[in-house]
Amino acid sequence: MKTKLFNRTIKAIPAIIASIIFLATPQLKAQTIYRLSPGKDVAIKVLGSSNVHDWTMTSTKMESQGDFKFDGEQLQGLSGLSFSVDAKSLKSEHSGMDDRTYKAIKADQYPKITYKLSSAVISTIQKNKYLIKTKGELTITGVPQLISMDVTAVVNPDNSITCTGAEKIKLTDFKIQPPSFMLGAMKVANDLTIQYTLNYKK
């Protein structure tokens, strides 16, 4: 009888040890790679001005993914996010302006505009709505610049995540000379605003 009890005890030791290790190890929060999902509202816009009129260039041809971390239903973290857009997919209402813009940003030599997240701090605005204070590297014409952005993220009923925001940049920070048109009669301002609506799904 004692021998059987001893044998059962010996056999149970591995399971007991495994249980102790499991309980003692901090459990990782759920994290999932989300990718950019196309849609009619998903776009990036570049807004600028000149001495003649304001202008907008828009693209819907983008690629992006990131690790969104949840604790239950609560968004807790974001890491590993990358983003790229084809420079020549940015279009305005004037093809002539587009061509001059591509030349100014050296689109043939640097066909991608990219962004890579380096840090993110998340705070809750209300249920399923968050403010993400981010820092990351934006690269245009091969010139990287560290920028800070405030991103509003909404977790939708279908568990997709919609991120919106805007950030101001200067062309000269990326060694881009603001282009001019019509023999200098129209001069583009140095300041631009990048607006985005991005929808991510698992």
Residue 26 above 80 pLDDT? no
Residue-level pLDDT at 3:
53
Q: Where are the alpha helices (DSSP H) in 52-187?
A: 95-104
Model-level pTM?
Answer: 0.81
Residue carrying structure tokens 């245009």 = 140
The domain containing residue 96 runs over which residues? 34-201
Strands 191-201 and 143-155: unpaired
Is 135 within 8 Å of 146 (Cβ atoms)? Answer: yes
Whether residue 12 is contained in a domain is answered as no
User: How confident is the model at residue 28, as a pLDDT?
Assistant: 42
Q: For the chain, what is the domain count?
A: 1
What's 98's domain CATH number? 2.40.128.110
Average pLDDT over residues 196-202: 95
- The phi, psi pair for 22, rounded to 5°, reads -60, -45
Q: What is the pLDDT of residues 156-195, one digit of tens each?
A: 999 999 999 999 999 999 999 887 766 667 788 999 999 9
- Candidates 41, 181, 190; CA nearest to 98 is 181
**In the Cβ-directed half-sphere of 6, how many Cα atoms lie within 13 Å?**
3
Pick the more confident residue, 30 or 94.
94
